[in-house]
Structures are given as C-alpha cells and as structure tokens.
Copies of this chain bind each other. A is one copy, B any other.
Amino acid sequence: MFLYLEDSSKFAFSRRESFKEFLSSQDGEAFGMLGIPFDSTATYMPGARFGPSAIREASYNFEGYNLTFNRELKAPIFDLGDVSVVAGDFKETSKRIIDTLTRLLSHDLKPLILGGEHTITYPILKTIQSRDNPTIIHFDAHMDMRDHYNGKFTHATVMRRVYELEPQDIIMIGVRSASREEIEFVKEHEIEYYTSQMIQENIEEVTSKLRSIKDPVYVTVDMDVLDPSHAPMVGNPTPCGLTPFHMEKFIETISRKDIMGVDIVEVTSPVKGDQTGLNAAKILHDLLSLKS
C-alpha cells in the first residue's frame, strides 16, 4: 500500500511479510531472528545492549548475492524484534528468553540470536537442548568455563552452565585466554579446544575436526573470537585473535551441518559503521547464503 516505505531497523535480508502467512504457504524451514540486549554482568567494557541494532544496521552494507560463495541469500528470515530484557535481573530475563524462544521453536523457526552478553546463551541452550541435544560449536577468545565468577550466571561462566546441560559435545575455537581452573576442567572433561595460535598455524586441523562432528549443531559466536583489530567493540577485546578469513572458512564448513540455531554475542558498538557489527553481520550473511 505504501509504495516507498521500508523498515531499515530490521535485518536487511529479513522478510517483510507475516511469518505465519509465509509458513502456511511453504514447506521447509525458516529462521527467526531475535535481539537480546542484555549486558548487566559485563566486567570490562559495557554496551552489549547495542549489539542487536549494530548488527542489523551493518547488514545493510551487504549484497543479496554472496560473491565468495557464489550464492544468492534467499533463506527465509523473520526478524521478530528484541526480547524485552530486565537490566540487572538475569533470572527474569532468562525466563523471558526461554518463553519467547519456546514459542519461536513451536513455529518451526530456527533461532538467529543477536546478543547481548554471552550469558544469554545459557537460557537459549536450555530451551534448545531439551529438544535437539546438539554439538555446541563455541567461537570465543575465552573458555567461559568458570564455575563461579561474579555469580553463577555471567559471561565468564556461561559455557560451564551449558556443559552442565549435557549437550552432545562442546568444541571451542579461537581460545586464547583462560584461568587455570578452566583449563583443568576442560582437560579433565576432554572438551576439545583450538587456540587462535594453533589456527594461525594450521587451520585445516580445525576445519577437518568440524567436518567430523555429529549433527545437529548449535553455533555460539562471541565476537571477541576475532582479533581486536577486526572487532574492537566487544566486552573483552583480547589480542591475537582470528581474522574474518578464518571465520569465512569455518562458516563454510559448518554450513554443511544441520544447524539448530546460532547466536552472535558481545558486540558493543554504539557508533554506526563500526567494523565489529560489520564482521558480525558478515558471519550471518555467509551462513545464510550458504543455507540458501
């Protein structure tokens, strides 16, 4: 009706029609995008609340066609907006995430989550785990495997809580910072991890590992997995990280898996055009092109 209107605050490649109409007329799957602007347990740089809008804005700098993978991005995506989080109250926020995500899954929408802090991955996986028992592919500069750090539920303990959900497996990629407690826990429980230094030397070892993991998978991307030169605006920028080229290769490999959901967290950019948002949007763009 309104010829020239557009909602530039939704993800650039999302459908503008109702997802109910879409789903009733189609077979197959669609993606449901949710922003979760929660950042109350950040310990170094705050601002992950800006992540959802930063990533959506950045998506407008990408083409419908993906030259690298020679694919048109046609995957049906519905950008549902943001979960209404409660600053300072992870418990209530967690409940809301679980309720919203449960509803989303009931519509056969696969979650694409834009954080917010990494802490939110726990309620997400708590919801998904009960259905899918996925292998968790965890991109991060950190292990996030502490048992306790400023409480039980923070960005530094989230993967420990996820581990307690007993997922099929966890594999960590890009790690370069951990406490002794974490490294011991990970070794004791035979959780595989690949440091950024290893990847720098021999990326093939990781892509080959990724090819071998069992379906289904869930992908959680803490954007601090990238080097600060590529992702300066994150909660805990950590030197010696991965490059977007590394991520391109990993995403290509992962796209062949049966993916239950994806989250991209810890983007803190308050300024339009910042490359942290761009690199986060590119990860989604690549994955969604490859899934098209």
Contact = CB atoms under 8 A, between A and B. Distances in A.
B270 A178 contact: no
Given A67-B176, A87-B40, A236 B61 contact: yes
Contact of A239 (B35, B39, B150, B244): B244
Contact of A6 (B84, B244, B278): B84
Contact of A4 (B4, B96, B271): B96
Nearest to A47: B46
A121 interface: no
Interface stretch (A75-83, A209-217, A259-267): A75-83
Interface stretch (A22-30, A124-132, A159-167, A223-231): A223-231
A157 B60 CA distance: 18
A220 interface: no
A81 to B, nearest CB: 4
Nearest to A7: B81
Interface in A91-121: 92, 96, 99-100, 103-104
A9 B81 CA distance: 9
Q: Interface range on chain A: under 10, 10 to 19, 20 to 34, or 35 or more?
A: 35 or more
A278 B183 contact: no
Interface in A28-62: 34-35, 37, 39-47, 49-50, 53, 56-57, 60-62
A45 B228 contact: no
B228 A275 contact: yes
Interface in A204-254: 227-230, 232, 236-240, 244-245, 248
B239 A83 contact: no
B5 A80 contact: yes
B272 A4 contact: no
Interface in A125-162: 150-151, 153-154
Q: Describe A's contact surface by its main secondary structure.
A: loop
Interface in A1-23: 1-10
B81 A5 contact: yes
A84 B157 CA distance: 19
Given A40-B40, A275-B239, A279-B239, A86 B151 contact: yes
A65 B151 contact: no
B240 A8 contact: no
Contacts of A63: 177-179
A87 B176 contact: no
Nearest to A193: B67
Interface centre among A42, A50, A240, A282 (most CB of B within 10 A): A240
A7 B35 CA distance: 10
Given A61-B237, A100-B4, A150-B88, A200 B272 contact: no
